[in-house]
């Protein structure tokens, strides 16, 4: 029988690979150095006569849970919401080398991540939402060329 866990339980770290830009902030901020990231650059052809763009492509993302102390700094440091806490905690292995989870296994944990908690209805709205509502109430402003 599964125990009833608190809503913000820390189990295993899940990876949403599509959001990872290979910025390496999670690996740099990790106090245990248990995150391993490899990538390569890919050149995208220019559209419409612009210059070609380069982007990082994730080759390897692994977390060694034998070293991890589950502090959550990597999740907090990620500016693109690519890392999440999963409440799953049953992932014991007989071999310590199996505790290094590669990106495919980290992605599997993503399906167990609970949805975010609802916002407090009595709280102030985020400043971005308030600014957008204020701009919508003023009406659409004409483009700069027409305002002169």
Q: What pLDDT, on the 0 to 100 scale, is given for residue 101?
A: 95
Closest CA to 21 of 76, 74, 84, 78: 78
Whole-angstrom distance, CA of residue 15 vs CA of residue 26: 12
The model's confidence at residue 6, banded by pLDDT at 50, 70 and 90, is confident
Nearest by Cα to 117 from 6, 3, 4, 34: 6
Instruction: Say what the pLDDT of residue 100 is.
Output: 95
- Which pair of structure tokens corresponds to residue 2? 């599964």
At CB < 8 A and 24+ separation, what contacts does 17-21 make?
17/58, 17/61, 17/82, 17/103, 17/107, 19/80, 19/81, 19/82, 20/58, 20/61, 20/80, 20/82, 21/56, 21/80, 21/82
Share of the chain above pLDDT 90, in %: 55
Q: How far, rounded to the nearest angstrom, does the alpha carbon of residue 7 sit from its chain's CA centroid?
A: 19
Band the pLDDT of 24: cuts 50, 70, 90.
very high
Residue 85 pLDDT > 70, yes or no? Answer: yes
Reported as a pLDDT band with limits 50, 70 and 90, residue 76 is very high
Judged against a pLDDT cut of 80, whether residue 15 lies above it is answered with: yes
pLDDT score recorded for residue 145: 55
At residue 113, does pLDDT exceed 60? yes
Model confidence pLDDT, tens digit, residues 35-57: 999 999 999 888 887 888 899 99
Q: Which is it for strands 53-64 and 12-15: parallel, antiparallel or unpaired? A: unpaired
Mean pLDDT along residues 47-71 = 92
At residue 105 the predicted structure's pLDDT band, cuts being 50, 70 and 90, is very high
Q: Does residue 111 surpass a pLDDT of 80?
A: yes
Distance CA 61, CA 44 (A): 22
Q: CB–CB of 13/95 below 8 Å?
A: no
């Amino acid at each position: 029988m599964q125990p009833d866990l608190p809503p913000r339980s820390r189990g295993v770290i899940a990876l949403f690979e599509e959001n990872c830009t290979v910025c390496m902030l999670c690996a740099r901020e990790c106090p245990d150095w248990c995150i391993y990231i490899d990538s390569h650059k890919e050149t995208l052809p220019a559209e419409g006569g612009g210059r070609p763009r380069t982007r990082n492509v994730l080759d390897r993302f692994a977390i060694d849970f034998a070293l991890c102390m589950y502090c959550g700094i990597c999740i907090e440091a990620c500016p693109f919401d690519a890392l999440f806490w999963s409440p799953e905690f049953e992932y014991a292995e007989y071999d310590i080398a199996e505790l290094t989870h590669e990106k495919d296994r980290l992605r599997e944990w993503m399906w167990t991540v609970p949805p975010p908690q609802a916002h407090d209805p009595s709280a102030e709205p985020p400043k971005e939402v308030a600014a957008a509502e204020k701009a919508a109430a003023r009406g659409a402003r004409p483009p700069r060329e027409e305002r002169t």
